[in-house]
């Protein structure tokens, strides 16, 4: 691996280069801005973030004037950070704002094949209809773009610009999915797709989906999420029944986990119902249960709210190195208990980058 070379120092004014060489960051600064990961990419981004701090410090100390700092130099630095950093740097000065909002910067944040993906959409939006690449990025990060005849949606992650997809229920393999006695296909006002699958009643619950890694961003840790909600009447059969979730890459070893689809399970496990005796009235109250470290909220694998009216449960994660066509199979199923269950509305399976906590 090549040692890190100051990619941008050759393009910086001489005063800035000497300032950077003679000002050693403190231990706290090094801890904050220098990555400990052993990859050239992470080190480069962390060091570039430090370059920005040096530039801002120089301006504050009057060492260099913004007029002497080329806008293209700033744009090169910002393009190697993140969309979030670019938005924050707009507040530094008008020069930083101009550089941070330039198409040269935001084109780097967009996927390299975004024009091909956008062209697959049936909507009237096109990449040329936006006034800037930043506007296009913000649109794609906030509005799912329907592709593949409306059976799949595409977005970019607002934090890092990575690709996100959701497979609609129509793209999934659902056992007995075409039998009205067990499943029915309906429209839903909260769904991004034209129809969703509503579980009527089954004892064999099995849903699987597939996606090719070439569609995803390389060198990225992804997670798959089952997106659903109970129907207005409510779901049943999942209250005390766990379900299996799995991720399999290219027919290899399966990564399995146990999850729950009952949205109220987490609340019930945190509170126990205790009768209050004595007095005229016998009342029931909820008492918080203190959980130990071996049974915390994260280990429960209960559904979480997405913020758009839907619930999601993580099925598993996988790392996409890129450069190869591999098929990822994602599944959620309950086929052992034999109990009847129903009342779930399935929107699909979402595949998106997993952010480190």
| Residue 264: per-residue pLDDT | 79
Burial class (CB in 10 A: 0-12, 13-18, 19+), 27: exposed
Predicted confidence at residue 56, as pLDDT, reads 63
Cβ atoms 166, 308 nearer than 8 A: no
- Euclidean distance between the first and final Cα of the chain, in Å? 28
Q: Is 126 left (phi over 0), alpha (psi -120 to 50) or beta?
A: beta
Instruction: For the chain of 357 residues, list the mean pLDDT of each consecutive stretch of 10.
Output: 35 44 45 39 49 63 65 85 88 86 94 92 73 94 94 95 97 97 97 97 97 96 97 93 95 91 69 48 44 46 92 96 92 93 97 82
pTM over cut 0.95? no
pLDDT at residue 39, rounded to an integer = 45
Residue 341 backbone class (left: φ over 0; alpha: ψ -120 to 50; beta: rest): beta
- Could you tell me which of 174, 222, 175 has the C-alpha nearest to residue 326? 222
Residue-level length of the chain: 357
Return the pLDDT at 298: 46
Report d(CA 49, CA 77) in Å as an integer: 8
Backbone angles phi, psi at 42, to 5 degrees: -65, -40
User: What is the rounded CA–CA span in Å between residue 92 and residue 99?
Assistant: 11
pLDDT of residue 24: 47
Beta-ladder partners of 314: 225
Give the pair of three-digit tokens for residue 6.
Answer: 């100051």
């Amino acid at each position: 691996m090549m040692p890190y070379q100051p990619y941008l120092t050759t393009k910086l004014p001489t005063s800035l280069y000497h300032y950077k060489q003679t000002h050693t960051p403190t231990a706290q600064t090094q801890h904050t801005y220098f990555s400990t990961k052993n990859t050239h990419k992470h080190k480069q981004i962390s060091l570039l973030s430090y370059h920005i701090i040096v530039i801002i410090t120089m301006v504050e100390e009057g060492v260099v004037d913004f007029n002497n700092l080329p806008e293209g130099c700033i744009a090169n630095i910002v393009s190697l950070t993140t969309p979030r950093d670019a938005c924050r740097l707009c507040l530094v000065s008008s020069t930083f704002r101009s550089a941070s909002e330039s198409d040269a910067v935001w084109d780097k944040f967009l996927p390299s094949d975004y024009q091909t993906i956008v062209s697959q959409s049936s909507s009237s939006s096109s990449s040329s209809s936006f006034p800037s690449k930043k506007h296009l990025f913000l649109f794609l990060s906030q509005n799912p773009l329907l592709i593949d005849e409306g059976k799949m949606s595409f977005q970019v992650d607002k934090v890092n610009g990575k690709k996100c997809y959701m497979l609609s229920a129509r793209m999934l393999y659902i056992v007995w999915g075409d039998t009205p006695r067990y499943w029915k296909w309906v429209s839903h006002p909260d769904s991004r797709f034209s129809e969703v699958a509503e579980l009527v009643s089954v004892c064999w619950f099995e849903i699987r989906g597939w996606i090719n890694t070439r569609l995803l961003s390389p060198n990225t840790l992804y997670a798959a999420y089952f997106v659903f909600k109970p129907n207005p009447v409510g779901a049943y059969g999942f209250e005390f029944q766990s379900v299996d979730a799995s991720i399999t890459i290219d027919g290899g070893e399966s990564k399995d986990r146990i999850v729950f689809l009952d949205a109220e399970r987490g609340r019930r496990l945190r509170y126990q119902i205790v009768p209050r005796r004595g007095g005229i009235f016998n009342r029931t109250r909820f008492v918080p249960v203190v959980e130990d470290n071996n049974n915390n909220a994260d280990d429960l694998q209960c559904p979480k709210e997405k913020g758009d009216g839907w619930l999601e449960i993580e099925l598993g994660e996988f790392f996409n190195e890129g450069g190869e066509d591999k098929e990822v199979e994602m599944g959620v199923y309950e086929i052992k208990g034999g109990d009847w269950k129903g009342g779930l509305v399935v929107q699909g399976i979402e595949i998106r980058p997993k952010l480190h906590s």
